[in-house]
Structures are given as C-alpha cells and as structure tokens.
C-alpha cells in the first residue's frame, strides 16, 4: 500500500500535538492498522487522550483513499469529512479537554 496518506495524516497529528499540547505531549502513536482502518493516539499527561480513526477504501485499480475519519477525545466524538484538509481544519479549531 502507498503510505503517503498515512504519512500525511501522521504529520498533521504531530503538528497538532506540537502546537496545541505544547510540552505536555508524551507521544504520538500510530498508525496502527485495525482491519481496513488505522488508528493514531496522542498521549498527554495533562489532557485527555486524543484518538483518530481513519477508514481506508481502495478502488479495484485505484489508490487508497479515506472513507471516514473519526476523532475521539476532543469533546464529543466527531466524524470529519474524509479528506486530510478537513481533518487539519477541524484540529486547528479544536479545544482540548483537561483530565479531571
């Protein structure tokens, strides 16, 4: 499989972690494959863990593409339109929730 989609997603999440979490991020884990989906986790010691699930579909003779993106840990679970630009826009406006 072409890993450029996974690499771009990882880069977006790493940049999000660096800007929103500052020094509170312990690590960005992923992508971990779960069937036709991939999971990334941003682990922090101050904020709730943020998990992003991306489902991938592959056309018979085409490149893999996103079929859905779900973000957990930023308030309510949110389904983001399946495009990396939409994920980046969502994360740019997201508010972190502190662990209680």
Phi, psi of 17, deg, nearest 5: -60, -40
pLDDT in tens, 11-58: 998 888 887 766 666 688 999 999 889 999 988 777 678 899 999 887
State the pLDDT at residue 97.
Answer: 65
Q: What is the pLDDT of residue 76?
A: 78
Residue 98 lies in a domain: no
CB 83 within 8 A of CB 67: no
**Could you give the CA distance from residue 2 to residue 63 in angstroms, rounded to a whole number?**
8
Query: Is residue 53 domain-resident?
Result: yes
Question: Considering the domain boundaries, does residue 77 fall inside one?
Answer: yes
100 within domain boundaries: no
Q: Would you give the end-to-end CA distance of the chain in angstroms?
A: 40
Please report where in the chains the tokens 């980046």 appear, as a residue: 88
Q: Determine the structural domain holding residue 39 and report its residue range.
A: 4-93
Which has more confidence, 37 or 4? 37
Q: Is the pLDDT of residue 61 over 70?
A: yes
Question: Is residue 68 in some structural domain?
Answer: yes
Classify residue 48: in a domain, yes or no.
yes
pTM, rounded to two decimals: 0.81
pLDDT band at 1 (very low <50, low <70, confident <90, very high): low
How many domains does the chain contain in total?
1
């Amino acid at each position: 499989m072409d890993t450029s989609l996974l690499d771009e997603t990882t880069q977006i999440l790493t940049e999000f972690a660096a800007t929103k979490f500052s020094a509170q991020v312990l690590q960005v884990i992923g992508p971990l494959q779960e069937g036709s989906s991939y999971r990334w986790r941003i682990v922090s010691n101050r904020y709730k863990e943020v998990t992003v699930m991306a489902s991938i579909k592959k056309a018979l003779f085409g490149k893999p593409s996103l079929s859905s993106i779900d973000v957990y840990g930023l308030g309510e679970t949110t389904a983001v339109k399946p495009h990396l630009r939409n994920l980046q826009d969502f994360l740019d406006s997201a508010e972190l929730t502190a662990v209680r």
